[in-house]
Structure 1
Amino acid sequence: MSDNAIILCIVLAAVAVVAAVFIRRARRHRETIAQAAAPEEITIEVHPKEQSAEDIYMLRHIYLEREPFKGTLTVRVRPEYVDRIRKITATIGDNHLPISDYVDKVLKAHFDDNREIINALYREKAGELFKTGE
């Protein structure tokens, strides 16, 4: 056997011994942690506070996740509205809120808030527009 092969065998044996020692220590440590203490029960009480209009707006239009939609559709929007929406999403949304997400959330909120009125007006002409639970 050459000198390099002998040195390699010695190094591999040393690594195996060190690994065995550390594996044994890790097992003991895990057993100690498992036996140490049962997890205590934590109780969290939530005291609802009155939310400001700003908090409600931020939750409803900025932070809440939107449901993905399948297709894209081009809609014409007044340039001054587009400019306002860009400023809102850039400033309030910290440039992390796409314009399409913001518009989607605002439209959903509009439909949720005005469901009964829209249904009543639509019903006069064509029947029911919004189904219950939609």
Structure 2
Amino acid sequence: MGLRVSKSIASLGKPIQCLMLFLLLLSSVLCTCAMEEETGVYIVYLKRREALTSEALEESHLRLLASVLGSMDSARAALLYSYTTAINGFSAKLTPSQANELKEKPGVLEVVPSQTYHVQDEGLRMMSNMV
């Protein structure tokens, strides 16, 4: 059966063969792109661990990330910052499904998308104009 299919494709001629190959490759690329999730920056809040140094906390952050991402190299590439002083946590580039997987890990309090807030200084500008 496979032989018949290849003979029938061969009989179509070079331009049609090239077009069919192009369409096959294009559909493969489109399927791959549709399956990939877009990454975003997430902040992961963890239970406080008192007796650890900053370096030990960062290493524990990497191990937790590696448990979701598959390797320490991937974890190092995704980790943006380790919070070790006021809170125990980190920020990392993750997909939504990776963030959800992290939420289920022991010791994880919360995983939230990072947000930037801009302070409006209009009121300050108005006050300085009045003086």
The verdict on a shared fold, with TM-score over 0.5 as the criterion, is no
Q: TM-score, normalised by structure 2?
A: 0.28
Q: Which has the larger radius of gyration?
A: 1
If asked which structure has higher relative contact order (CA below 8 Å, sep 6+), I would say: 2
Greater strand share, structure number = 2
Greater helix share, structure number = 1
